[in-house]
Each structure stands twice: as C-alpha cells, then as structure tokens.
Amino acid sequence: MNDIKLLVVDDETDFAEFVAEVAMGMGFDVSLTDNSTKFTTLYTPDTNIIILDLFMPGVDGIELLRFLYNNASKASLIFMSGKDQYVLHSAQKLALEQGISVLGILQKPFRAEELEYVLAKYDRQSAPQAVRKHETPSLDEIRQAIAQNEVYLEYQPQINIADQKVIGVEALLRWTHPTKGEIPPSFFIPIAEENGMISDISEFVTKTAIQQLGIWNSNGHDFRMSINFSPKILDDLDMPEKLAQHATNCGANISKIMVEVTETSLMSDVTQYMDILARLRMKGFRLAIDDFGTGFSSLQQLVRAPFSELKIDQVFVRKMITDKDCRTIVEISILLAHKMGMKVIAEGIQDENIWKLLKNLGCDEGQGFWISKALPAKEVIQWIDNWSSK
C-alpha cells in the first residue's frame, strides 16, 4: 500500500503526527503539515487521500476544498474537527456535490481504530473517479447512451431486519461512458429532466425492471422490485394503466412492485400527483415515500399521499451510531411510520452495528453495503442462495 499517497493537514501538530503514524502503520505513503498555507506545495495531482482538519488558521478546510475542486482533484477526503459537527456534515455534502469522494468524517478526539476503519474503505482499484462539472455529459451523450445500451440496471438486495430474510431488490440505474467511465445518476438525471428526456430513461428503467421481475417470478422467485420514479413522469394520467398492463404482459406480480417517490417531488402539482399515486395503489402497486427527512413538508405528504412504506434516507442511517441527532431522526421516523400503519425501510446499512441498532428500534426492512452492493441481474439469485444459507 506504500504507493498510495496520503496527506495530513492539521494545525494541531501532535494530532497530525498521531494521524500520520496510524496511516503509516497501515502502509500508506504519508506527508503531513501543521501549516495549511503550505498545502499547495505538498499536494500533487497523484495524491490519493487527504485527511483534513476544517478549522485552521490562515487557510481553512473549506478554502482547501475549493482548491481541490478548482484543480479537478481525484483524491478521496477524510474530514476531521474537534468543533462543530454540523460544519463537518456541511463540508461533506459540499464535497459530494462537487463530485469529490469523501471516505468519512471524524469528530475529534477519535481513536486509532476509528481512523483505521475509515482508511480501510479506500480501495485504489474501486476508488470512485470523481466526475467534475466540466466532465458532465452532454444531451447528445445521454441520447447516445440510451440508444446504444450504455445504461443498464443493477439490483440491490433488501432484507427483513428482524430475521435477515431477503424480501426484495431495488432497481438502480447505471451508466458506463466509453471514455469517462462510471457516471453517477445524480450527474445525468437532472440534465435529462430539464431537457425532456427523462421519459425515455424512466421507460427503460420501469420496463427493464418489471420484465426482470417477471422472469424471476416465473422461475419461482417471489420477491419485491422497488423502482424509483422521477417526479417529471408523474404527469401522465394514463401511467397507472400502462404500468399495470406492462406488468401483466411480463407475468410480474403487481403486488410485488413498489414505486418509490421522493417527498420533495410532491411539492408542485399536488392534485395531479395524488390522482396518479392513488390509482397506482388501487391497481395493487405498493408506494414508498423515498429519502424521508430530506424534504420540507414530510408530515403533510404522509397525510395526503397513500404511501404503504417509508424509506429513511441513508444520510441519517449511516451516521446514527455516532450522531445522536441522526439517531433521533431515525427513531422518530420509525415511530411515526408505524403509528400511520406503514412499514419502514432503512437505506445505508454500512455495518453490523447499524443493523443491530435498527433491529432494536423496530425498523422493518433495510439495504446497504453490509448486506450487499447492487448486483447484475444474473448474480442476484446466486447471492440470495448464499445469503440464505448463512
């Protein structure tokens, strides 16, 4: 691992040396500085990991983040601070929005084991190559991706939290660009939505996912398929009928299809959305409110829309062990959903400790890397067999 370059930036000399010592013990090639103004002289384009304190005199961590973005850095970041945890979370969100990989955030003081856990997430073979704004795809590239089958689906397993039995999968859209590599949906979906192309993408996702569910159902595999719906396609009043007919044609069990809609998508034309969502439920589809807690009128949406499931956003689930505010949001979400007769799905289950806590809190279902990453369709059944035999 000694060819993986790691840079520590922390104005507390003793703590910088502690971090560097832990990293060197894991085999990283480490440089460090306790003077943030020297960052630009130590940083090189082939730096792999940067461990960065946010609160520093001279040049603070946010200014250094701006430098990394402007220089299209492909380094992965670890943020740390002994001060405001909310600033840590904001810095993480800012980095992710700029396409910069964040391995984790650490609240000082932390133990060597905590740092080792975060550093162990780095894998040079699978480390995300961040896509910068100047590398975002054009409309023509998106059209070509659809026409030439560059987009495809993978399926992330979902389990019952209590007994760990597999209850379904979520269909996730992927795009491998011939020269830019993997392009996250967050980079091309907004472009497609803004330019009238989201219908083509949504049609591909729904038809492919339902067709695959029909294949699995016909082979005796009776589990659920969750499909994310863009709010931009909730404008076709005939959509519930079309979706039901496609499911019938594919031999897919409608009661095993769950449509996921983000709560923020329900903010504009409420009447039309409720018309479509209500008829989806009437035809037997399940309906989940996705990314719960990240919008602005969650309670109002729960009352108005006929949801059967509530999905807690992973930003809260992943941090619930170390962040009491995130844990509180998860607890309240579970209690609220159960009081309203809904099941709860937690996304972002990254380790066994999160799963155990969710189990204790009474969460119904979940998904995340601790269970499985998203898989190609041909690998799903074998994964289920292996998981079930544990």
DSSP sequence for 294-351: SSS-HHHHHHHS--SEEEE-HHHHTTTTT-HHHHHHHHHHHHHHHHTT-EEEEE---S
Tell me the one-letter amino acid at 342.
Answer: M
Q: Is 355 a member of any domain? A: yes
- 3-class SS of residue 5: strand
pLDDT, residue 268, reads 54
Helix (H) or strand (E) holding 16: helix 13-25
Nearest to 78 by CA among 19, 31, 24, 29: 19
Q: 178 and 64 in one domain? A: no
- Is the CB of residue 241 less than 8 Å from the CB of residue 220? no
d(CA 197, CA 184): 17
Q: Is 282 a member of any domain? A: yes
Q: 352 and 225 in one domain? A: yes
Q: 196 and 106 in one domain? A: no
Tokens of 169: 């999968």
Q: 243 and 160 in one domain? A: yes
pLDDT, residue 69, reads 87
Q: 89 and 221 in one domain? A: no
Q: 115 and 251 in one domain? A: no
Question: What is the β-pairing status of strands 166-177 and 181-182?
Answer: antiparallel
Nearest to 224 by CA among 389, 386, 364, 351: 364
d(CA 125, CA 102): 16
Task: Note down pLDDT in tens along the chain; length 390 residues.
Answer: 567 899 999 888 888 899 999 999 888 999 998 888 888 888 998 999 999 888 888 788 788 888 888 888 889 999 888 776 667 777 878 888 788 888 888 888 888 888 888 888 786 544 444 444 445 688 889 989 988 889 999 999 999 999 999 999 999 999 988 888 888 887 788 788 878 888 889 889 999 999 999 999 999 999 999 999 877 777 788 889 999 999 999 999 999 999 998 765 555 556 677 888 889 999 999 999 887 765 544 566 667 678 899 999 887 898 899 888 889 999 999 999 999 999 999 999 989 999 999 999 999 999 999 999 999 999 999 999 999 887
CATH number at residue 221: 3.20.20.450
163-202 as b/e: b if 16+ CB within 10 A: eeebbbbbbbbebebeeeeebeeebbbebbbeeebbeebb
The answer, as to whether pTM is greater than 0.85, is no
Q: 155 and 237 in one domain? A: yes
Where in the sequence is the domain holding 100, given as residue range(s)?
5-119
Q: Is 126 a member of any domain? A: no
pLDDT, residue 266, reads 56
User: Which DSSP string corresponds to 156-217?
Assistant: EEEEETTT--EEEEEEEEEEEETTTEE--HHHHHHHHHHTT-HHHHHHHHHHHHHHHHHHHH
Tell me the one-letter amino acid at 67.
Answer: F
pLDDT, residue 267, reads 53
Q: 186 and 109 in one domain? A: no
User: Which DSSP string corresponds to 163-176?
Assistant: T--EEEEEEEEEEE
Nearest to 155 by CA among 389, 376, 382, 378: 376
d(CA 330, CA 311): 10
Chain-centroid distance, C-alpha 191? 19
Q: 169 and 66 in one domain? A: no
Q: 325 and 182 in one domain? A: yes
Residue 57 φ then ψ, to 5°: -70, 160
pLDDT, residue 123, reads 65
43-75 as b/e: b if 16+ CB within 10 A: beeebbbbbbbbbbeebbbbebbeebbeeebbb
Tokens of 213: 């569910």
Tokens of 204: 């591909």
How far is the CA of 236 from the CAs of 36, 44, 304, in angstroms?
54, 51, 20
Q: 221 and 195 in one domain? A: yes
pLDDT, residue 11, reads 85
Last residue of a domain, one of 92, 119, 146: 119
Q: 281 and 372 in one domain? A: yes
Q: Is 260 a member of any domain? A: yes
Q: Is 307 a member of any domain? A: yes
Q: Is 125 a member of any domain? A: no
**Structural domain count, the chain:** 2
Last residue of a domain, one of 60, 86, 119: 119
Q: What is the largest CA-CA distance in the chain?
A: 66
Q: Is 232 a member of any domain? A: yes
